[in-house]
Structure formats: C-alpha cells, structure tokens
Amino acid sequence: MALIENQKKEDGGFAETLKTVFYAVIIAFGVRTFAFEPFNIPSGSMIPTLLVGDYLFVSKYSYGYSRYSVTLGLPLFSGRIMEKVPERGDVAVFKLPKDNKTDYIKRVIGLPGDTIQMTGGILHINGQPVPRERIEDFVTTDASGRELRTTQYVETLPNGRKHRILEESDMGPLDNTPVYTVPPGHLFMMGDNRDNSLDSRVPGMVGYVPMENLVGRAEFLFFSLDNGTSFYEIWRWPFDLRLGRLFTGVK
C-alpha cells in the first residue's frame, strides 16, 4: 500500500508541475501578445534616440492588434482589431513589408494622405519644411578610442513633438528625394540617424508600411549595454552597463 500511495503522490506532483508550466506559458504568451514585448536594438539607425545595445519594452495595445503583434506571428486573424492610428513622432516596431518577418524600429513621420519629401536634408511634410534647431554635437568614440562628432539637431514635427536627429551632411543620397504620398492605411517611417537609416525613403527595401504590420509602440528602456556586449555576457555588465539609460522613456 505504501508503494502505491508514494507512486500516486509522485504522479500527482508531476501533473501539478506540468499544469504550472502550462499556465506559465499561457500567461507569458498573453503578456507578450496583449501587453508588452521586449526588443533589443542591433543597429544604429535610431541614434541618438536609441543606441546599439538598448533593450526596450514595446506596448502591444497602443495601436490595436494584428497577426503581427501576436507572438510568433500566428495567423489567428486578418486585418487589425481595436485599431488606433499612431501619432506623428511615435517610435514604433513593425514587420518589414518586404518579408513580413523582420522586425524594424523607426519613427512615424507620415500619416495616411501626407506628402513627404527631403530637400537639402530638410524634412518637408505636406509641403512645409519641418523646423530643426542645431544643438551640441553627438559625441562617440571608435574602437581605438578616437573621438567622433556628428551634427545633431532637434526637429519639431507639425504636432509639436520634438526629437533629436543626426545629420552627417545635407548632401547624402537620402537628403534629396522625390515627393512621397502616403497611401491610405499606410505610414511613412524614418530613422533618427538620417544618413544611416534604411527606411521609407527607400521604396524597394522598406517603402510605405501597412498599419497592419505594426507590432507596437516603443515605451521605455529597461536595460542597455555598451561596447557590443551581449545580454548573456554577465561578467561584462559591471563595465558596459549604461546605468543612465535604464528605465528611461522613449521620446
């Protein structure tokens, strides 16, 4: 009898463990689908707003839900439910229209029906130049410790939203463009590092972004590592952790 009872307890304990793991997976799936999902920044296209090695949370509820905001991109439904149009100036994660798989993060610059053009490095929205104010240079160092400076501006969008941008020059290949007219149900996205961003100014690679492809809005940083340090290289955290960026909002 004792052997049978012990076997029952072991079976019951195993079943409870499986149940706990199942519930944990369901909760994690729900949080990542309906509330927040973590992302990390692998490229410099959003400098100075976002740096390589930043880790941030993206809110899934900000723009409603589509198949691309569901964890693993499961095709549970088509279109977008509870849809909300982003505000100009939001920093948002979306699936690259070219493959509907790759995660990109850029700033919302053009809304449906807007006209967008770059002329001599100046952004124009609906035919009007967007004001920019020259501020201090953005300063970094290269691998050899040499100081690098990039011209930095504060750009003010028509709705009053302000953000910093970098311009290495006003004569880059994407500093003079044709007029783009944003189609219905689409957005025009641009990186803040204007001369080093593959974005909606390049139709064959990014182009207009369908609102269905939105994953969510970038909200705040929860971690940041410098010098190419991986999240898993814990022994390097004391030297490369950017303490000043922790728990700061994305503007």
Kindly state the tokens that stand for 86.
């982003």
How far is 156 from 105, CA to CA, in rounded Å?
20
pLDDT of residue 28: 38
CA-nearest of 138, 121, 170 to 50 is: 138
CA-nearest of 219, 250, 197 to 38 is: 219
* Catalytic (active site) residue 66: no
How far is 218 from 196, CA to CA, in rounded Å?
20
pLDDT of residue 26: 41
pLDDT of residue 166: 98
Across-strand partners of 115? 181
pLDDT per 10-residue tile (average), the chain, 251 residues: 53 51 40 70 96 96 87 64 92 96 97 98 98 96 85 98 97 96 98 97 96 96 94 94 95 91
* Catalytic (active site) residue 101: no
Kindly state the tokens that stand for 110.
């053009």
Of 106, 197, 200, 224, which one is the catalytic site residue? Answer: 106
How far is 22 from 27, CA to CA, in rounded Å?
9
pLDDT of residue 91: 98
Kindly state the tokens that stand for 142.
């290269």
Q: Taking the chain, what is the end-to-end CA distance rounded to the nearest angstrom?
A: 67
pLDDT of residue 145: 78
pLDDT of residue 31: 45
Kindly state the tokens that stand for 29.
């799936």
How far is 213 from 80, CA to CA, in rounded Å?
9
Report pTM.
0.84
